[in-house]
Structure 1
Amino acid sequence: MKKPSPETLVLVKEWVFYAEEDLRNAEHTLTLKEDCPFSTICFHAQQTIEKYIKAFLTLHAIPFARTHDIENLMHQLPAEIQLPLSVVEQRLLTDYATVSRYPGEWEPVDLTDAELAVTLAQKVREVIRPHLV
């Protein structure tokens, strides 16, 4: 890998800062258990994953579209970066950032969904962070 420019390193740090902010928000809100906005937790978990992927892509100068689509972003990752997300989970996480935030035909999320979303975000963080140093 070519050495990233100082500007690129600043941008990567910003992606990570906002990813961590989203993860803290999801983890903290989850402590409310039954009295919490589950869709908000799922949204912030999705945002954590999206921003960590974008941090990696930015660092490695891999172009990516402006999108919330986790499946699409994962296709941009090199083969050696294996994130622990099934295709079904990728699509579900994408929905948390898009359709689940608005009225319409969407199955409401519950505590189990929120816990899984946070766990997936934590796992993606564990895989990507070592590649950002």
Structure 2
Amino acid sequence: MGSQERSACVGRHDRCGYIADEIFGFHAQQAIEKALKAWLALLGVEYPKTHDITPLLSMLTAHGQPVDSFYDLIEFNLYAVQFRYEAFDGIGEPLERDVVIVRVGELVRKVQALIGPTPP
């Protein structure tokens, strides 16, 4: 990831301006959702059309996958639902963006490791 993209991810000011928590949280939720769906697909598990992270984690648990350390990511469900369908008035405390990047990165790296290297 380039420095400009990283700056955008952590919400620093750049030529586009500040990135609001609801946008940052929405993109974090999307990364989590897509990573969990990729993990399920890798197992050959058919998953529902949902933006809810909870059933995806439950399905992985039911298939014996080690996902206990990722259940805290369920908090990002709020960003998917409110950002898409409702007025977003904030959640209260601002996101700890560096922590979010680390946590989402851990999940993505886990799934990438399961998938294995990309052929040339």
TM-score by length of 2: 0.70
Runs of 5+ unmatched residues, structure 1: 1-19
**How many residues were matched structurally?**
107
2:15 corresponds to 1:30: no
For residue 42 of structure 1, what is the aligned residue in structure 2? Answer: 25
Q: Residue type matched to 1:82 in 2?
A: V
- Contact 2:22–2:88 (Cα < 8 Å) also in 1: no
For residue 41 of structure 2, what is the aligned residue in structure 1? Answer: 58
Pairwise CA distance, 1:83: 5.3
Identical pairs, percent = 21
Pairwise CA distance, 1:120: 1.7
- Contact 1:68–1:94 (Cα < 8 Å) also in 2: yes
Q: Residue type matched to 2:32 in 1?
A: I
Runs of 5+ unmatched residues, structure 2: none
- Contact 1:93–1:117 (Cα < 8 Å) also in 2: no
After TM superposition, the runs of 4+ consecutive aligned structure 1 residues lying more than 6 A away are none
CA RMSD of aligned residues (A): 2.8
Give the distance between the partners of 2:73 and 2:10, measured in 1 at CA: 24
For residue 81 of structure 1, what is the aligned residue in structure 2? Answer: 66
Pairwise CA distance, 1:106: 4.8
Q: Residue type matched to 2:98 in 1?
A: E
- Contact 1:84–1:120 (Cα < 8 Å) also in 2: no
- Deviation track 1:38-88 (CA, whole Å, cap 9, x = no partner) reads 2211111111111111112112210111011111101111323325223xx
Give the distance between the partners of 1:39 and 1:107, measured in 2 at CA: 9
Pairwise CA distance, 1:127: 1.5
Aligned to 1:64, what secondary structure does the other structure show? coil
For residue 102 of structure 2, what is the aligned residue in structure 1? Answer: 119
Give the distance between the partners of 1:40 and 1:70, measured in 2 at CA: 17
2:87 corresponds to 1:103: yes
Aligned to 1:120, what secondary structure does the other structure show? helix
Question: Higher helix proportion, which one?
Answer: 1
